[in-house]
Structure 1
Amino acid sequence: MTDRPLTLMAVHAHPDDEATGTGGVLARYAAEGIRTVLVTCTDGGCGDGPGGAKPGDPGHDPAAVALIRRQELEASRDVLKISDLEMLDYADSGMMGWPSNDAPGSFWQTPVEEGAARLAELMRHYRPDVVVTYDENGFYGHPDHIQAHRITMAALEMTALTPKVYWTTMPRSGMRRFGEIMREFHPDMPEPDPAEAAAMAEIGLPDDEITTWVDTTAFSGQKFDALAAHASQGENIFFLKMGKERFGELMGMETFVRVKDPTGAAVPENDLFAGLR
């Protein structure tokens, strides 16, 4: 036996991703006495500026945006009771196809081996029992999410560690419910064109392909408050308008695909630490 605490490491792309994707498990496992480590890969500088200004708009200063987002991330960390926060501080690459994808120093332009080596050092230091990140498409094709996936999987290969490894996902049934609630709050929202509708239908996974369903409903209030800490970002406003009760109904279950497992725990499972305790 060892006195080292069980440890969860979540590798995310931007400030606020920790809240939307894994806020529930971070809060739940912290409450259970598990050490929670958040690695945020970019500075978030391509996020919204004051008044919703986008990169390239008047009034958008990436350095100022990054500073605000760091402060918001610290507030979110406090809400979720995250034990340790590590920032890799690569420049935010922006959405796929933006000019910022090609900027020197952006995360998307960083060699995978370089980012992976830095992350591997953190893994050796914290020795996580569970690692969570995105799938190979970054869930929805964001370059920084894809890069976070790449450096995480490469970092694991660089270490002698054998944690359970999970990729975040959403069940297709949950995505349909999300669409219904969006229309409830935005009845004038135009119908997507056929190509957009087809692309949206492919987001997430069929329910029977999800290996791990973690009920974090009891912590959905913390997850909501963590997201509220990132209120500078316009895409978060929709969730906040729901209120905590509706938010908990939609976002209380967090789902994953298990891709590495040294324990032999049966699936489907309802605990990222199944087989470890």
Structure 2
Amino acid sequence: MKTIIGIIGLGLIGGSIGFSLRKFNYNVIGFDFNKKNSDCALKIGIINKIVSFQDLIKISSIIILSIPVDEIIKILNNILNKVNKKQVVFDTGSTKYSICKSIISNKNRGRFVASHPIAGIENSGPQSARYNLFYRKNCIICDKKLSDPDALLTTNKIFNILKMNVSYMESKEHDIYISYVSHLPHVISFVLSRIIFKKFLYNKKKFIKIIGNGLISTTRLSKSSSDTWTPIFLDNRDNLIDTIHLYINFLKSFNNLLLEKNIYKIHKYLKKYNINKIINDINYE
């Protein structure tokens, strides 16, 4: 019997998964709490069919949760209570520890695979979905020992089809790391945009004349959906607070270099902490 893949949440990530899997002739059904998203997803070919929430859980071989993390926590236990030993459930949430903790005692915990495909962009909604969004991007699977081997194998197969690079971490460790490499950059982008609003609110014409690529690239993430990022920030609140404090301390240190007018130290700092150099050094190792 042909595998039926059910996607709950047909925005950027869920929609892009649907696009990709349909190219491999999977039967993809979908549900979204926002009817406009459902209608758009069906119209542009993300899914084969729109079904009800209950029907999706009942008939899907693989259930993919691609909704905000707080919504995942609300419905995941209910879904796991209804699945059988052949069904697989995985999510795409940007935080993992709270999700995993919420189902630790569920009798069907093994049918769930906690996953995070790291492939988001600043645009949201099914209209932004891309079939190649995940190509050569990283994906983290968390707490794999708590997932049944066949569920893990099935989930890995999906991410292999998406051409993702899969690795494994504990959920608590994942949330610490992701607060630095994903959540902090978003905070910085939103806060910088706030500064621009404050500074140029009454000088919009001047702002347009001096805006450049540096600002555009640095504030790109502030275009991201507030519906998505508010629950992420709150769910990873403790880690993010620590990360922000560390960032502030380093920002103060750099400010001190400017106050000292220390050309040598500033030049050394800029040269040493070029992110491309860091990445290249890691790849070389």
TM-score above 0.5, yes or no = no
Task: Tell me the TM-score normalized by structure 1.
Answer: 0.37
**Which is bigger in relative contact order (C-alpha 8 A, separation at least 6)?**
1
TM, length-normalised to structure 2 = 0.37
Instruction: Mark the structure with the bigger radius of gyration.
Output: 2
